[in-house]
Amino acid sequence: MNQLAFGLIAADDIDPARSPHWLLPEDAELIFGTISSILVFAVLYKFGWPLFKKALAARTESIQSAMDESETKLADAQTEAAEIRSAAGDIDAERQRLFAEADTEAESILAEGRARLDEEIVELREAAESDIALIGSRASGEIRGEISTLSRRAVDRALAGGMLDDAMQQELIESFISKVGAS
Amino acid sequence: MSDARVQGYAKALFEVARAEGTLDEVEDELFRFARSYESSDELRTALSDEGIPAAKRQAIIEDLLGGKATPTTIQLVSMVVGSGRTRDLPAIIDKLVARASSSKNLAVAEVRSAVPLTDDQQARLKAALANATGSDVNLKVVVDPSIIGGIVATVGDTVIDGSVRTRVDQLKSRL
């Protein structure tokens, strides 16, 4: 205490414009400063370090938790991505299958349609040919009937008008006699 | 009328004509009369009408055949008409002709012509038919304008048709 007081008194005597060293403090100041610093550090170590350590641990735990969560989410995302890729693959396969089925069905429908059209064309052609033949036959029959009717009328008129004269009658008789005699 | 009765009448007529010695003439006249009877609706109606007394129908016969046929022919037809067998007259006469022809070993040849045949034509036709059938024939010519032209000859079941009518019918059928 005395030393301190002495130092303070002595300091009063020292010229403030003059310093024992341009960098180093006075011994007393160094001692008191060192002690004060040690005290401060001790207090900080005693009371501040646990808090700092605790905060650091909490922070570490929080970061670890966040990292774990991120890993979990990453795994989930990867799983979901795999499922999505799988589903996409299934969808693609299903799409291909549907396309293939659609193509097959379309070809079948097309083939059936063509076959049906061919059958209809054949039926229509046959019906048309039948109609044509029927019409032709009918027309032919009508013409024959008309010719027959006209011919009969012509024969009847010729007979009614005395078709055969005496010479022709005699010729017919002689012809008959000759044929019968030759048989 | 039964065939036996027709045969009986034919036999009776045949015997009468043969007894009279006019079989050929009577046979020919009866044949012509039968054909006339078949072709004439009016004559057929008049002679077969039971409502007309038999005497009157016999008088019609005498009017028709008087001067054109022998008395035997007239009497034979009158007998058949008087006995009520007028409808069977053609069948009876045909049997008579067949019997007469058969008695002379001849086949009856019924010839239908649209116009009358000359004697020469009849002779040649008779020879031709004999040649065709292989037996002599008793030619019976009937003038039938309905055949239009040519001749139709029937000998037994054989028919030789050279008529224009048949040809016209065939032509019509084909038409």
Tell me the sheet residues that pair with B108. Answer: B138
pLDDT score recorded for residue A63: 95
Spatial separation of the C-alpha atoms in residues A148 and A154, rounded to whole Å: 10
ipTM of the complex, rounded to two decimals: 0.79
B124 touches chain A (CB under 8 A): yes
Residue B71: is its pLDDT beyond 50?
yes
Structural domain boundaries in chain A: 26-161
Distances, alpha carbon A131 to alpha carbons A120, A137, B135, in Å: 16, 10, 61
Q: What does the DSSP 8-state code read for residue B87?
A: G
Average pLDDT for residues A134-159, to the nearest whole number? 83
C-alpha B27/C-alpha B20 separation (Å) is: 12
CA distance to partner chain A, nearest, from residue B147 (Å): 11
CB contact under 8 A, B127 and A166: no
> Mean pLDDT throughout B38-64?
87
**Which one-letter DSSP state was computed for residue A45?**
I
Positive or negative, the CA dihedral A69, A71, A73, A79 is negative
Of residues B124, B148, B149, nearest to A177 (C-beta): B124
B142 DSSP β-pair partners: B112
Q: What is the pLDDT of residues A4-48, one digit of tens each?
A: 555 555 555 556 556 677 777 788 888 999 999 999 999 999 999
d(CA A84, CA B162): 109
Contact A163 B131 (CB under 8 A): no
C-alpha to C-alpha distance for A148 and A146, rounded to whole angstroms = 5
- Evaluate if residue B109 carries a pLDDT over 70: yes
* Percent of chain B residues past pLDDT 90, beyond the cut: 22
Give the C-alpha separation, B140 to B134, whole Å. 18
Residue of A nearest to B113 (CA): A173
Partners of residue A181 in chain B, C-beta under 8 Å: 124, 127-128, 131-132
B12 touches chain A (CB under 8 A): no
User: If we measure between CA atoms, which residue out of A172, A180, A175 comes closest to residue B126?
Assistant: A180
Residue A1 pLDDT exceeds 50: no
Question: Which pLDDT tens digit goes with each residue over B28-42?
Answer: 899 989 988 888 888
Q: Within 10 Å of residue B98's Cβ, how many Cβ atoms? A: 19
The predicted-structure confidence for A55-100, as pLDDT tens digits, reads as follows 999 999 999 999 999 999 999 999 999 999 888 888 888 889 999 9
Domain ranges for chain B: 3-100, 105-174
User: Residue B79 in contact with residue B57, Cβ under 8 Å?
Assistant: no
Mean pLDDT, to the nearest integer, of A102-119?
A: 93
Q: Which helix (H) or strand (E) holds B32?
A: helix B23-39
Compute the Cα dihedral for A60, A65, A70, A75 and give only its sign: positive
Q: How confident is the model at residue B170 (pLDDT cuts 50, 70, 90)?
A: confident
Kind plus residue range of the DSSP H or E element containing B112: strand B107-113
Query: Chain B residue closest to A147 (CA)?
Result: B175
Residue B93 has pLDDT above 80, yes or no: yes
Mean pLDDT of chain A: 85
The average confidence (pLDDT) of chain B is 88
DSSP state of B115: S
Q: Which of B117, B129, B148 sits opposite A173 (nearest CB)?
A: B117
> Would you state the pLDDT for residue A145?
83
Q: Average pLDDT for residues A109-122, to the nearest whole number?
A: 93
Sheet holding B150-155, edge to edge: B137-143, B107-113, B150-155, B158-163
Q: Token digits for B32?
A: 């012509």
B148 close contact with A: CB closer than 8 A: yes
CATH fit for domain B3-100, picks 3.40.720.10, 3.40.220.10, 1.10.260.40, 1.10.520.20: 1.10.520.20
Query: Cβ–Cβ contacts within 10 Å for residue B113, how many?
Result: 26
